[in-house]
């Protein structure tokens, strides 16, 4: 019997999209995706199983009370979800709800419907995720973060299960809640990984290109450390080129905006990468800054870069690292956060002490001067990503889903 599974996220596409589509294509489940009406209209040509809900009020404007603003936004979303689910179950049996903890918060659903609920929480709060002390949050941001942490812990208590992307993320939760939490990274569509559109205009000719790639160009992702490393390598290797792939205007997991406002003024459009370029006096002829890209061009740049530096400072399970590895690209990465769960040192990548510039230079120099080692690590990088392909990840998700449904059913029969 195929299960009826309802995924809930006000963003579409999201980390649920590939899984939802795959379950339907392979007839493994009847998977529905509940999002906003605007997202439903924009994506309806891709799926006939998109459903819509209407949040209770505007979720894009500032809320009345700053300190509870994010929780208020989550509540407006949750009330819209509650109303839609209440109508939906009148004519369709739902076996399981899988909801995003903040952008699809299920907290108004708990105890209202006899449906098991799995909540996905990337990390419970910025306090537990961490931030660069050089670019700290304001006191108000620190205090407001407590409300989101409170919501995350409440969701962990009330959900039938919480899914997080890594053991590192799981360990951010209090020990008393960890038995309710399962680790499962998202799955990647191999066909999408193969998409490519020429990125010639970004690629230097006949240069060994070392790249940094992240959705957000932030201190949390290690952008400043990348530039420090690149500046040292510029001196040592005159034929190396450096590429920064990402959108300088994307929202970040860090608090650089406060620093930039204080340094350059709130009216300034100076980005964090602009600031770092000035601070470290980089030779712009040795760097390419791509800005925001379409996915096929982004994909081509990943395939064509020779080596990636992943100097992560803070993170719970970033998909960007897997995007690189799934294209068989060698990575030198920080030995911290969730990264050691994915990269095995000198097998499918190189791990270094994240704060030791000399270790970075030594590791990169070795790979640059040893093409066979670089090739071996590239091959192992690709081989190591089998579990993250959607076919295998979907099987793991279905196992988790069935176990969750069964536990709820078993409680009722006792």
Per-residue pLDDT of the chain (414 residues; tens, 9 = 90+): 899 999 999 999 999 999 999 999 999 999 999 999 999 999 998 888 999 999 999 998 877 899 999 999 999 999 999 999 999 999 999 999 999 999 999 999 999 999 999 999 999 999 999 999 999 999 999 999 999 999 999 999 999 999 999 999 999 999 999 999 999 999 999 999 999 999 999 999 889 999 999 999 999 999 999 999 999 999 999 999 999 999 999 988 889 999 999 999 999 999 999 999 999 999 999 999 999 999 999 999 999 999 999 999 999 999 999 999 999 999 999 999 999 999 999 999 999 998 999 999 999 999 999 999 999 999 999 999 999 999 999 999 999 999 999 999 887 665
Neighbouring residues of 167: CB distance < 8 A, sequence distance ≥ 6: 183, 338, 341
CATH architecture, domain 4-187+389-413: 3-Layer(aba) Sandwich (3.40)
To 10 degrees, what angle do helices 357-369 and 223-236 make?
50
Superfamily of domain 195-388: Glycogen Phosphorylase B; (3.40.50.2000)
Q: Do domains 4-187+389-413 and 195-388 have the same CATH topology?
A: yes
Token pair, residue 390, equals 């959607």
Helix (H) or strand (E) holding 181: strand 181-183
Q: Whole-angstrom Cα distance, residue 330 to residue 217?
A: 20
Nearest residue to 291 via CA among 241, 321, 248: 248
What size, in residues, is the chain?
Answer: 414
pTM confidence score: 0.96
Q: What angle do CA 330, 335, 336 make, to 5 degrees?
A: 125
Taking a C-beta distance cutoff of 8 angstroms, is the pair 231, 223 a contact? no
Nearest residue to 303 via CA among 203, 230, 207, 389: 203
Place of tokens 């956060």: 337
Integer Rg of the chain from CA? 22
Q: How far is CA 156 from the centre of its chain?
A: 20
Nearest residue to 147 via CA among 178, 126, 161: 126
Domain boundaries, the chain: 4-187+389-413, 195-388
């Amino acid at each position: 019997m195929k299960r009826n599974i309802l995924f809930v996220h006000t963003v579409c596409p999201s980390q649920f999209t590939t899984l939802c589509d795959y379950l339907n294509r392979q007839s493994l489940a009847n998977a529905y995706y509940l999002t906003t009406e605007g997202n439903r209209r924009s994506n309806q040509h891709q799926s006939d199983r998109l459903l819509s809900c209407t949040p209770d009020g505007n979720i894009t404007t500032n809320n009345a009370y700053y300190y509870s603003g994010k929780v208020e936004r989550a509540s407006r979303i949750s009330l819209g979800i509650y109303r839609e689910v209440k109508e939906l179950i009148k004519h369709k049996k739902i076996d399981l709800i899988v909801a995003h903890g903040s952008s699809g918060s299920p907290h108004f659903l708990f105890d209202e419907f006899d449906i098991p609920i799995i909540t996905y929480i990337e990390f419970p709060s910025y306090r537990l995720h961490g931030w660069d002390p050089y670019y700290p949050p304001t006191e108000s941001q620190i205090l407001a973060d407590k409300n989101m942490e409170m919501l995350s812990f409440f969701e962990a208590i009330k959900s039938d299960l919480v899914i997080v992307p890594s053991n590192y993320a799981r360990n951010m939760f209090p020990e008393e809640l960890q038995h309710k939490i399962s680790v499962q990274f998202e799955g990647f569509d191999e066909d999408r990984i193969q998409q490519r559109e020429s990125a010639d205009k970004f690629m230097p000719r006949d240069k060994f290109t070392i790249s940094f790639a992240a959705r957000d160009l932030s201190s949390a992702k290690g952008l400043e450390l990348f530039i420090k490393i690149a500046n040292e390598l510029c001196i040592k290797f005159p034929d190396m080129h450096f590429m920064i792939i990402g959108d300088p205007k994307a929202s970040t997991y860090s608090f650089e905006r406060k620093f930039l406002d204080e340094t350059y003024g709130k009216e300034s459009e100076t980005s964090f990468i602009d600031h770092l370029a000035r601070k470290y006096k980089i030779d712009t002829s040795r760097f390419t800054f791509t800005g925001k890209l379409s996915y096929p061009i982004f994909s081509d740049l990943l395939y064509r870069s020779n080596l990636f530096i992943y100097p992560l400072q803070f993170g719970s399970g970033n998909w960007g690292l897997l995007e690189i590895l799934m294209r068989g690209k060698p990575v030198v990465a920080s030995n911290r956060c969730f990264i050691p769960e994915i990269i095995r040192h000198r097998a499918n990548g190189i791990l270094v002490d994240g704060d030791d510039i000399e270790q970075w230079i030594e590791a990169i120099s070795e790979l640059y001067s040893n093409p066979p080692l670089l090739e071996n690590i590239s091959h192992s990088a690709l081989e190591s990503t089998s579990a993250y392909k959607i076919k295998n990840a979907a099987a793991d998700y279905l196992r988790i889903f069935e176990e969750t449904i069964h536990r709820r059913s078993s409680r009722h029969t006792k």
